[in-house]
Amino acid sequence: MSSQPERFLILCVDRDDDLGEKTKIQTPVVGRDAALAAATKLVMADPEEADANTIFAAVKKCDELAAEGIACEVALVCGDAARGFDADRRIGMEIQSVTKGSEYTGIILVSDGGEDEKVIPIIQSIKPIVSVQRVTVKHSQRVEETYQILGRYLRMLVFDTHYSRWALGVPGLIFILAGILIVSGHSLDAELATLLILGGAFFIRGFNIDRAVAGVLQRGPTGYMRLFSMVASVLVVVVAVFTGYGSMVSQACSTGGSVPSCAQQNAGQLISGSLNLVWVGIAIYATGALLSHVVWESIRWRRDGFVLVMLALFYFPVRTFSQFLIEGTAESTVLLISYIFVSLAAIFILTTAIYPRVRTKGVPERE
């Protein structure tokens, strides 16, 4: 038995139908001369069109195989400008039309990569692909893939709510607010509002605060208790900083003292003026966490109680340290050292004797 002679179809695929859009040529185009004429017309319409180079490459491949005595034919099929399902269905129908009644051994696909190679499964369902020749022109396949990836991420930024709230929502709020302020004659306020909104958005996203708040609220009533304690503690600490600054300004040292002593006194006044409220803010946060864990039946309430005890132990050393910065007397130095040693002893007892025993008792932890 004599074997069937090989005959190959050299196929070019234009998935987005640049040929039809720019030259009005109807596909499929079959034959070397017809393909060469289509490529010439396309390159005259758009000299930078990559599909024209692909068709020329297919014609060249056909000539090379013919010179080797291998039977082949050139064909060009197109899809649709919208790509997607319509384009793929049209390509499949045109390939079936070209291969109908012709005994091709296989298909040699000539492609510039990117979109056109997405139809490989469609081609293989009709005829086997025996070879793929990729044509690279000046704009390069890598550049085309980069544009595709960039377009995918741009669509994600626009249509994915997880990203659009930051990519579009925050700039939209800035533009609306700035426009209102500028129209009302408050240009300086518009600049300040822009900085505050951008700073707040960067701060929230940078420290993952939005996800932390969402995770807290998922716990139900205990989550709202935890969120309230967090917000309240932040507000109290902010007030504490302003209070400490006001105390420092109102009791600033005279110019007669040296610069280091003035700096020490100012630091002492700042710490002394804000200490109480800072401690109250931290205690509010720890108390909220403690109550939340108690309601949630989590053994982490013991850790929160330990934080409150540590907070009480640190209060007097920090208070004495601020007095030392303000006065710098020997009595305050001795008192500071005494408080430090007492606090160290108490912390040692808590961490080595009491806390490990309390931690191992109770119900299993729930998250």
d(CA 168, CA 190): 19
What are 241-294's pLDDT values in tens digits?
888 888 888 876 654 444 457 777 888 888 888 888 999 988 898 888 888 777
State the Cα torsion 170-176-178-180 to the nearest 10°: -160
3-state secondary structure of 12: strand
d(CA 70, CA 59): 14
Say what the pLDDT of residue 311 is. Answer: 85
d(CA 214, CA 200): 17
What are 192-210's pLDDT values in tens digits?
888 888 888 787 777 777 7
DSSP H/E element including 356? helix 355-359
3-state secondary structure of 313: helix
Residue closest to 50 by CA, chosen among 95, 132, 123, 115: 115
Say what the pLDDT of residue 107 is. Answer: 92
Is the preceding peptide bond at 5 cis, omega within 30 degrees of 0?
no
Model confidence at 165, in pLDDT bands (50, 70, 90)? confident
d(CA 51, CA 12): 8
What are 44-84's pLDDT values in tens digits?
998 878 888 889 999 999 999 999 999 999 999 998 888 88
Say what the pLDDT of residue 231 is. Answer: 84
d(CA 52, CA 115): 15
Look at 22-36, 80-94, 131-145, 303-317 and tell me which has the smallest mean pLDDT. Answer: 131-145
Residue closest to 99 by CA, chosen among 32, 36, 35, 30: 30
Task: Report whether 254 contacts 269 (CB < 8 A).
Answer: no
Q: Residue ranges of the domains in the chain? A: 7-139, 160-206, 219-359
Say what the pLDDT of residue 337 is. Answer: 84
3-state secondary structure of 173: helix
Say what the pLDDT of residue 74 is. Answer: 94
* Three-state SS letters, 33-95: HHHHHHHHHHHHHCCCCHHHHHHHHHHHHHHHHHHCCCEEEEEEEECCCCCHHHHHHHHHHHH
- Record the tokens describing residue 128, joined without a space: 């086997």
Model confidence at 359, in pLDDT bands (50, 70, 90)? low
d(CA 294, CA 301): 6
